[in-house]
Each structure stands twice: as structure tokens, then as C-alpha cells.
Structure 1
Amino acid sequence: MRVLIDQEKCCGAGQCVVAAPAVFDQGEDDGIVLLLNAEPPAELHDAVRQAIRVCPALAITIEE
């Protein structure tokens, strides 16, 4: 799995960080998503998929 983010779409809701804190973070100044791990290990795949589901801006995608 490869995680892709579109920072221009991000609204800073932070739901991705709640769902997968080992993969996502937020910028201190603007709250925009930061990608910590573009190729997370298998044990984090479900958390990444949850982050995709809860992202209100649809700013996260994956390539399998």
C-alpha cells in the first residue's frame, strides 16, 4: 500500500490523525495533513482505510 495525500483538499479536521497516528500528523500552524509514512506496514492498513473513510475532504487515497 502506498498512501497519497492532497494537501490542497485538506480542511484540517484531523480525523486521519485520530484513525492512524503512525501514518498521519497535522501541521502546527495550519492543521493541514502531514504524511509520516507513505508505505505503512500491513498492520496499519486497516487504520489507513479508516482514515480514508472519515476524511471529510477526501484528501487521502491509496495505491495497492
Structure 2
Amino acid sequence: MSLHVVFDPGKCQGYANCLIEAPEIWDFDEDTDTAVLRQADPPEAVRAKAEAAARCCPAQAITLEERAG
């Protein structure tokens, strides 16, 4: 199973907690004050960081899915 990150930019309120937790996966667009998902399918090595980013998002704009293969 691999991890897939789902991001809803419409919910993003610009807290940037995701970027703090997982800079390998996220970036931030200062023009729009929203997060930018750089890796929807991050490597297993950063799974814990992806989970922390989803957990720390106050707007609940990040969800994680398990995908086969």
C-alpha cells in the first residue's frame, strides 16, 4: 500500500502547518496565502510527516488515502 495525499485548496486558510510538518511534501504560495501540494504520492520515508501534516491542519484541508501498488 502506498500513501496518497488529497488536498482541498478551497478549505486551506493559510496556516502553513503542513509546510512546517512536511516541507518535503508542501510549499506555500504567498500570493494566494495557500499551501501548494508538491508530492501527492510521497515516498514511504516521509509517511509520518505526511500524517502529521494532515493531523495538524486546522482547516482539515488534507486527507490521506491508502492505495494499492
Say which of 28, 35, 48 aligns to 1:33. 35
The residue aligned with 2:46 is: 44
Matched residues, number = 64
Q: CA deviation at 1:28?
A: 2.1
Calculate the aligned-residue CA RMSD, in Å.
0.7
TM-score of the superposed pair, with normalisation by structure 2: 0.89
| Unpaired runs of at least 5, structure 1 | none
Bigger Rg over Cα: 2
Deviations 1:8-43 (A, max 9, x none): 000000000000001011112022110100100001
Matched residue SS, 2:27? strand
* Structure 1 runs of 4+ with >6 Å offset: none
Bigger strand fraction: 2
Matches of 1:51 and 1:25 in 2, distance apart? 12
**Identity across matched positions, percent:** 39
TM-score of the superposed pair, with normalisation by structure 1: 0.95
